[in-house]
Amino acid sequence: MLRRTALHILPFGAVWILVLVFAVGAHAEIGIDRDFSGRVNVESRWFPKAGAFSGQGAHAIGFVVLPKLYLADAEGRSFTLSPFFRYDNADSRRTHADLREAYFLVFGEIGDGEWELRVGIDQVFWGVTESQHLVDIVNQIDLVEHPNGEAKLGQPMVNITWSSDWGVVEFFVLPYHRARTFPGKSGRLRLPLVVEDEHVEYESEAYLDFAARYSQSFGAFDAGVSVFNGTSREPFLMPGVDSSGMPVFVQYYDQIRQFGLDAQLTVGSYLFKLEAMQRAGARNLLGMEENYVASVFGGEYTFYSVFDSAVDLILLGEWNYDGRGRNATPSRSPSTLENDFFFATRIAFNDVQSTEIVASILGDAGRSTRALFVELDRRLSDQLSLDIEAIHLLSIDKADIHYDTRRDSFVDLRLTYNF
Amino acid sequence: MIPIRPIHLFFALCPIILFCLGVSSPARSESAEETGLKIAQDSQDREKGFGNFTAQQTMMLRNKHGQESRRQLRVKVLEVSEDGDKSLFVFDEPRDVKGTALLIHAHRESADDQWLYLPALKRVKRISSSNQSGSFMGSEFAYEDLTPQAVEKFTYRYLRDEAYGDLTCTVTERFPVDKKSGYSRQVVWRDKDELRVWKVEYYDRKDAHLKTLTLGNYAQYLARYWRAGEMTMVNHLTGKSTVLTWTDFEFQTDLNDRDFTQTGLKRVR
C-alpha cells in the first residue's frame, strides 16, 4: 500500500518541483527553447458479441489527452514533460493517468565520443521484431490501453549512455517498479478472474533494478546485447481473494535476471530480425520457477512502387518460440507465443494523406488460437487523423488463459487531433 | 605481290595522320562522357569544405485540382570527407508525424544507411535504403531527388551549351548506376559560371518525361556555396506539383558527428 502511494506521490511531486524550478529558470534565462505539442483523441470501441461475463458492455467510448512540453537551453540541456490521461466510460480501470515522460536530459563530449544522462521518468525501447518485444524490459506495459502491449507506463530511471566508435553502452538504475495495468470487472478482454489492483506482491521489497545494453552497427548489421537484474515486469498471476472475499488474481513479481540479444541484418529490401532472451528466476504458468529461453525470428521484405504506382507493399513473417512450451506465461494477448507464427502485410499508399493498411495474423502452431488484426490509418487534415482497427479473434483454444476473451473481437475507431 | 606505291603509303598512314591531327586539335580534347563527368566532378569539388549546415524546409504539395497540403521539416547536414554526407530530417508538420526523424549516412560506393526514429514508441528502426524512387512524404520529390548524389552514382554525357535566361548553361545527361533508381536518365542544366543547377528533367524507366525540377532564389553562403531557396517539382503524368522552400540556412554551426548517431537521433524533438 505504502509503496503504491509513494510511487504515485514521489515522482509526481518531484516533477512538479522540477517544473517550477525550470519555469522560474526559463523566465530568468534568455534563449530558452520551448515547444508544446501533443494529441487528443476520441475513441469508440464496439464489441459485436456479448462478453463472457455479465456486466461487460458492448460499447466503450472515451478519450485520451497526451500533451508534451519540451524546454531546452542554448546548450541543448532539456526537460521533457508528457502526462497522459485516458477516460473510458465502460471500464473504470481503463480510466487512468500516467506520467509517460518527465525527465532531464544533459549530454556532452567525452574523448572521441559522447555521454548522455537522463534523470526522471522516461520510455525505453529495445528490439527489432514486430509480433512481440521480447528483450524490451525497462518499462512496464500499460496493458489496459491495448491488448497488443505496445503502450508502456513511464518508468523512473537514471540512465547513463556512453557512445563512441566502438558502440553504445547504456546503463539504467530503476528505483521504482510499476505494476501492470489490467482491465476491470466490467472491462472487455479480461482474464477469468479480475486482476487485483489494490495490492501487489513482490518476491523482494528492494525495488532497485538495474539494466544495461551494449549495441553496435557493423555496416548492414545492427546488434545489441542486454542484461536486466531485478523485479520482473511480467507478473505471475496468483489466485487469491480481494478485501471483500471475492476470488481474484493477485500480481506477484519475481526477482529475475534476463540476458537479451537483438539483431538485424539489412540487405537491399530485406530485413532479417532476431530477438532472443534467457530468463532466470521467473515462475511459469504452473507457479514453478523455471529458467528458460525464448526467441523471435523473422524477416521482412518490401516491394517498393508496386506496378509502377506509389504504393509500397511490405510482407513480414515471424516465428515466436518459448522454451517452457505449454507452461509459458502469456506474453501477448490472446496467445502465449510459445510456438506461434505471425504474418503481416503493410500497404503504404504514400499519398498526401499517408494512407496505410496493416493486416496481420497471429496463430499458435500447436493450438487452435488464431487472431486477425486489420488497421487503417489516414490523415484527414494537417492536424486530424483517423484510425480504424479491427481485431477478430478467430478462435481461442480452451487451454489458453485468454479463453474467456474469445467473444471480445472488436472494432476500434479513433479520431486524433494532433497539435 | 602488289608493289607499294607512294599513294598506298599515303592511304595507309591516313588514319595515323588524322589521329595525330585529332589529338593536337583543341576541338577533340575529350569525349561527351568525359566532359559530363568533369562538370559533375567540378560541381562536387566546389561543394567541398562546407562543413555542415542547418535549414528549414517547407513543402507545398498541390494536386491538379489545386488542393494544397503542407510539410515542414528541419534539415541538418554534415560533410564527411571521402564519403557521402550525413543528413538528419526532423518533421514538424503535419502534426501527426511531428518529431519523427530520418537519419541518413550516405555512401559513395555502397548502399546508404538509414534509421527512422518514431517518437511515440521512442523506437529507432533501421530501415532499408532501397526505397530510392519512393515519394518523400507524399510529395513529388522522391528520396533520390533529395539526398545528396555523389558523382559515382551516375554515368554522364555532355549534350550541349544552351542559354538559360541571362546565363549560359551546360546541358548534361546523367544515367543512374543504381538499378533501384526510378529513372532511366536525368537531364541537368547547370550554369557555366557558378555550376548551379537550374533545371532537371527526369525520365522514368520507360524513358517518358516524368518530372521537371526548376530551381531559383539562389543565395551564396560563406562567399562560396550556392543554395537554391526554391525548388519546384512538376509531375507531368499526374499534374501534381511540389514547391520546396528552403529558409534559415546556417553554415558552420556547432553540429558534429555525435548529432548524427542513433543516440543523437533519440534526442531530437
Could you tell me which residues come within 8 angstroms of residue B245 by beta carbon, excluding any fewer than 6 positions away? B57, B58, B59, B60, B229, B230
A123: which chain B residues are within 8 Å (Cβ-Cβ)? 121-122
pLDDT in tens, A333-379: 667 788 999 999 999 999 999 999 999 999 998 888 899 999 999 99
- Indicate the average pLDDT of chain A: 90
Q: Is the dihedral of CA B258, B259, B261, B267 positive or negative?
A: positive
B20 pLDDT band, cuts 50/70/90, is very low
Q: Give the pLDDT confidence of A177-204 residue by residue, as tens digits.
A: 999 999 999 999 999 899 998 889 999 9
DSSP class of residue A401 equals G
- Please tell me the predicted confidence (pLDDT) of residue B23: 46
Is A125–B262 a contact, with Cβ atoms under 8 angstroms apart?
A: no
Please determine, for residue B232, whether its predicted confidence score (pLDDT) is greater than 50.
yes
pLDDT at residue A16, as a whole number: 62
Mean pLDDT of A378-392: 95
Q: Which residue on chain B is closest to A110 by alpha carbon?
A: B258
- pLDDT score for B75: 96
User: Given a cut of 70, is residue B264 above it in pLDDT?
Assistant: yes
Q: In this predicted model, what pLDDT tens digit does every residue of A255-274 receive, in sequence order?
A: 999 999 999 999 999 999 99
Mean pLDDT calculated for residue range A67-83: 92
A263-311 pLDDT tens trace: 999 999 999 999 999 999 999 989 999 999 999 999 999 998 888 788 9
Range of the domain at A414: 2-418
Question: Strand locations in B145-229, DSSP E?
Answer: 154-164, 167-176, 183-191, 197-204, 209-216, 219-221, 225-227
Is the confidence at residue B43, as pLDDT, over 70?
yes
| Cβ A393 vs Cβ A406: under 8 Å | yes
- The type of residue at A179 is A
- pLDDT at position B179 is 86
Residue A266 touches chain B, beta carbons under 8 Å? yes
Q: How many structural domains compose chain A?
A: 1
Residue B245's pLDDT is 97
Average pLDDT score over residue span A226-253: 93
Structure confidence at residue A2 (pLDDT) = 38
**What local confidence, expressed as pLDDT, does residue B7 receive?**
57
Q: What is the pLDDT of residue A335?
A: 73
Q: Which residues neighbour A35 within 8 Å (Cβ) at sequence distance 6 or greater?
A: A68, A69, A70, A71, B269
A37 contacts B126? CB cut-off 8 A: no
Chain A residues with CB-CB distance to B182 below 8 A: 305
Angle at A154 between CA A149 and CA A159, to 5 degrees: 115
- A145: confidence class by pLDDT, cuts 50, 70, 90: very high
For chain B, what is the mean pLDDT? 88
Is residue A106 predicted with pLDDT exceeding 90?
yes
CATH code for position A281: 2.40.160.10
Which sign, positive or negative, has the C-alpha torsion A18, A23, A27, A29? Answer: positive
- A-chain CB neighbours of B135 within 8 Å are 310, 350
- What value does the mean pLDDT take over residues B37-58? 93
* Half-sphere exposure for A1 (CA within 13 Å, toward CB): 0
Q: Which pLDDT score, from 0 to 100, does residue B16 have?
A: 54
Q: pLDDT grade, residue A64 (50/70/90)?
A: very high
pLDDT digits (tens, 9 = 90+) for A166-178: 999 999 999 999 9
A327 touches chain B (CB under 8 A): no
| DSSP one-letter string for B93-150 | ESGGGTT-EEEEE--SSSPPEEEEEETTTTEEEEE-S--SSSBSTTSS-BHHHHS---
Round to whole Å and give the CA distance between A253 and A251.
Answer: 7
Q: Is the pLDDT of residue A8 over 80?
A: no
Does the pLDDT value for residue A26 go beyond 80?
no
The predicted model gives A375-390 an average pLDDT of: 95
pLDDT single digits (tens) A314-339: 999 999 999 998 888 876 666 778 89
> If you average pLDDT over residues B48-56, what whole number do you get?
94
Q: Are A86 and A60 in contact (CB under 8 A)?
A: no
- Among the partner residues A78, A168, A310, nearest to B135 by beta-carbon distance: A310
- For residue B247, the model assigns a pLDDT of 96
Band (pLDDT 50/70/90 cuts) for residue B11 is low
Q: Residue A6's pLDDT band (boundaries 50, 70, 90)? A: very low
Range with the poorest average pLDDT among A248-252, A408-412, A413-417, B43-47: B43-47
Beta carbons of A350 and B138 less than 8 Å apart: yes
pLDDT, average across residues A131-141: 95
* Per-residue pLDDT at B4: 53
C-alpha to C-alpha distance for B196 and A164, rounded to whole angstroms:
37
**Dist. CA B144–CA B122, nearest whole Å:** 27
Does pLDDT of B9 surpass 60? Answer: no
Is A283 in contact with A147 (CB distance < 8 Å)?
A: no
Backbone angles phi, psi at B51, to 5 degrees: 80, -80
Q: Which of B44-58, B61-75, B111-125, B129-143 has the lowest mean pLDDT?
A: B129-143
User: What's the CA gap between B71 and B12, in Å, rounded?
Assistant: 68
pLDDT at A10: 54
Residue-wise pLDDT for B172-183, tens only, equals 999 999 888 889
Check CB contact under 8 Å for A266 and B180. no
- Cβ contact, residue pair A116, B69, below 8 Å: no
pLDDT single digits (tens) A29-62 = 556 888 999 999 999 999 999 999 989 999 999 9
Q: How confident is the model at residue B13 (pLDDT cuts 50, 70, 90)?
A: low
Q: What domains sit in chain B, N to C, each tagged with a CATH number?
A: 33-267 (2.50.20.10)
Picking from B127, B180, B269, the nearest residue to A70 by CB comes out as: B269
Q: What is the pLDDT of residues B104-144, one digit of tens each?
A: 999 888 888 999 999 999 999 999 988 888 888 889 999 89
Selected residues 379-418 of chain A with any CB under 8 Å from a CB in chain B: 379, 382-383, 385, 416, 418
